[in-house]
Structure 1
Amino acid sequence: ELLVALFFLSLAVISPNRSDGVLELIENGTIVTALENVNLEELTFKKRHINQSVSTTVKFRINSLPTPTWSFKWLLDGHELKVTRYTSTLPSKPGNVYTTELESDSSVNLTLHLQDKGLIAGNYTVVFSDASGATPDSSISGFVNAPPILPLFSKDRRVLEGDRLSLFCEVTGYPKPSQVHWFFAYIQPDMMEDKSALAEARDRLEELVLNSNVSRFITNSVTNDQLLFTELPSDYNGLYKCKVDGDDGGDETLILVNVKDRWAALWPFVGIVIEVTVLVTAILLYERHQMRSKPTKTDVVTGQTTAVAASPNIKRTSAAQVQQNNTAVPVITPDPNADVNVEGNRTTGVEFGSAKHDELRQRGASRC
């Protein structure tokens, strides 16, 4: 069935002049591509890309004169495509996908224009409808051809050991290639940034051998266009290449997969914890040593007492002087019958008390 489909597809590509009576395919389109050098880390290789400065067209003919009830619907690979329709003057910026119409005596030339980001290879189908019913609905397909192009992986893929990893080499271009081929070369984890190691790995790339326990191929639009690892082992750390071939040229792309140890992110934290532990232990030991070498309060008091007793220069206080200092001053009770002055003080008591105090001071001074 696949061979039959490819046979009819080749007829469509080689013989574009097809018609269903109302619509007729006049010319298919072709996207211009080129190879250029690209970089992945320290690796340089040639990669195919679309030349967006060159537009392309697909031309149809409608074998009927236009009427106000005409309408068009466009499909790209079976999915509806938004196309701007111009029937008269073309603006300076018509857009990336649009159509123009040119009337002749008994037909209309319908041209689909693709440019810039609208340059997508594939099967373009136009569905013609006449709301008046004068012309039956009809459709026809045209093709925009391009060599197969693979995506560019500008950065390496970092993944933890044992995690899931999916590498998808999506193929654009038309017609599609039959299969995507995968290649692999192992690189030691500590050599992933070494330029010579990367170049050496590229030279020894070999076709990838799957381990059915951890990896398998998945087919999306092209056979084996996706590589899936359910649990990525460290043995698959290194350089990958996916490659496709086509009649008008092929393409290839490189992928770096960096498998990290699951506990690699924990080691810096463990190192910090160890450093802090050592630092705190050193501080505690130092403080403990300082506390042991410093004299206690009891030792200080004992030392001072001993020093006072042993010093011959310190004068001893006489018992008489101590007794004099401890002598209490008698309290004089004022006479309740004494006269009171204007301020409310008892005159006789105050004077007597003052005289008594003066006498006591004089006695103390004479004894000294």
Structure 2
Amino acid sequence: MRTQAAFLMLGLLYLAGTLDVVNAEVLYEGPESVKNGSAWTISCKGFNGKGDVSWTKNGQTPEELSQGVARVFTNDTISELSNDVALEHHEGVYKCAKSSNNTFRLIVTTDIIYKIVLYGHEHINKTTKTGLLKPLVIECGNYSGKDVVEWTKEGKKISDTSLGAKYELLKFNGSNLVVLRNDLEVLGNYTCVNKNQSYTLRFRVVPLPVPKFEEEYINVVEGEKLHVVCGGNLYPGIKIEWTFNDITFNATEGRFELTRDLQNGVNGASLTIRNMQMTDTGYVKCKVWYEGNELLNGTVKADLKVKDKLAALWPFLGICAEVVVLCAIILIYEKKRNKAELEESDTDQSPDTKPTPNKDSDVRQRK
């Protein structure tokens, strides 16, 4: 008995040690935020061997790994994911081990200043019918009258001669650049360089964000996945916040998976929810804004209905039931008709009761 108890104790100790290995906590190290264009590295420890390492971002393999841009170094104790240049779409939730649910959130900051040009007839100057009611002014920092300032758009210098060449889109006001219209040509990346004070400011002129869904009413079958893209006139760098039946989130968590909209290059604009349930019926909402312009936000909402996965089967079963009832009626009718015909046939085949001539009487009459 003592020997058995000792073996049992050793077995329990071994099992406990094994569970500690399986449930080992994965710890991450890395910057909480990294500036756009800088190098970054995320490291993790505590995984269960090299075979347990599988780096993902927002639940999927990072595009940089498949393209060979990002690098992964792994040994028996540590795994590192690194990239030489941080871009806006690198922001997300990273995970290095398949056996652990622990994740690391990377935030990419930028020195771009977003300026919103207002769209819509309500913002147009009624007197000119062309210019903005409130033109957008882009200020080039602390400027003195003697400073030399140079403006560029998409890397090309903006000169006095180029201003006003097309419907007076832009004009100078000292060191400031004034956007006069909400024409598509004014959108883009601007840079101002103060050569006297040796500083550079970067701006991105974007339209007033107006998100949209492809459908106002969304239907999904129970057990299947919901996929929604927050589209519209959105540009890279926009911030997105999702709401699903009063649950608000802006990163991949639990059932909610956020990925990049490859068509518009917007990070977190694609939402996927797997294994939809009947209780998920409600709504889904997308709210968007640009950094520094939280008041000029936009929201789109769609009603969501989760259908019973057997809903498509009920009409078919109803048709089958109708066919069965119809066949039963026909069968009963045919059975009764055959029975009636059989009885009538039996009656027709009974002996003939018509009197027959008497041969004896005929003989006597001839005599």
TM-score scaled by structure 2?
A: 0.44
User: Given the two structures, how large is their TM-score scaled by the length of structure 1?
Assistant: 0.44
From the CA coordinates, give the structure whose radius of gyration is larger.
Answer: 1
Q: Give the helix-richer structure, 1 or 2.
A: 1
